[in-house]
Amino acid sequence: MKNVLTIAGSDSSGGAGIQADLKTMCALGVYGMTVITALTAQNTRGVYRIQEIEPGMVAAQIEAVFTDIRVDAVKIGMVSGGEIIRAISGCLLRFKAQNIVIDPVMVAKSGDPLLRPEAEQAVRDFAVLADILTPNIPEAEILSGVPIHTEEDMLLAAEKIAALGGSRGPRHILIKGGHRLGTSAEDLFYSGGRVVRLPAGRIETRHTHGTGCTLSSAIACRLALGDSPEAAVRAAKDYITQAIKDCYALGGGNGPVGHLAGLYRRAAMEIV
Among 40, 44, 211, 214, the active-site one is: 211
10 Å Cβ neighbour count for 194?
Answer: 9
**Pair 38, 50: CB distance under 8 Å:** yes
- Higher confidence at residue 266 or residue 89? 89
Residue 113 has pLDDT above 70, yes or no: no
According to the model, what pLDDT value does residue 267 have? 81
10 Å Cβ neighbour count for 70?
Answer: 9
According to the model, what pLDDT value does residue 180 have? 61
CA distance 243 to 25: 13
Residue 169 has pLDDT above 90, yes or no: no
Among 32, 212, 255, 258, the active-site one is: 212
Is 228 contained in some domain?
yes
- Total domains in the chain come to 1
User: Active-site residue 210, yes or no?
Assistant: yes
According to the model, what pLDDT value does residue 270 have? 64
Is 239 contained in some domain?
yes
According to the model, what pLDDT value does residue 114 have? 60
Mean pLDDT in residue range 122-133: 89
According to the model, what pLDDT value does residue 115 have? 63
Highest mean pLDDT among 86-95, 106-115, 187-196, 197-206: 86-95
User: Active-site residue 208, yes or no?
Assistant: yes
Highest mean pLDDT among 105-109, 150-154, 178-182: 150-154
pTM of the full structure: 0.92
**Opening angle at CA 239, ends 233 and 245, nearest 5:** 135
Among 15, 37, 169, 213, the active-site one is: 213
According to the model, what pLDDT value does residue 245 have? 94
Domain that residue 82 falls in: 3-266
Mean pLDDT, the chain, whole residue set: 90
Side-chain half-sphere CA neighbours of 126 within 13 A: 31
Percent of the chain residues past pLDDT 90, beyond the cut? 71
CATH number at residue 172: 3.40.1190.20
**Pair 20, 243: CB distance under 8 Å:** no
> Which sign does the torsion angle of CA 176, 177, 179, 184 carry?
negative
According to the model, what pLDDT value does residue 111 have? 56
Mean pLDDT in residue range 239-243: 95
Residue 167 has pLDDT above 70, yes or no: no
Among 2, 23, 109, 176, the active-site one is: 176
CA distance 248 to 251: 9
How many angstroms separate the Cα of 155 from the Cα of each of 123, 141, 160? 20, 11, 9
Mean pLDDT in residue range 149-170: 86
CA distance 182 to 103: 24
Residue 140 has pLDDT above 90, yes or no: yes
CA distance 28 to 221: 7
Please state whether the peptide bond connecting residue 170 to the residue before it is cis, i.e. omega within 30 degrees of 0. yes
Confidence bin at 136 (pLDDT 50/70/90): very high
> Which sign does the torsion angle of CA 68, 72, 77, 80 carry?
positive
Is 272 contained in some domain?
no
User: Active-site residue 176, yes or no?
Assistant: yes
According to the model, what pLDDT value does residue 124 have? 82
Mean pLDDT in residue range 220-238: 97
Type of residue found at 17: G
Residue 25 has pLDDT above 80, yes or no: yes
According to the model, what pLDDT value does residue 122 have? 79
Mean pLDDT in residue range 78-99: 93
Is 20 contained in some domain?
yes
**Pair 24, 256: CB distance under 8 Å:** no
Among 208, 221, 237, 255, the active-site one is: 208
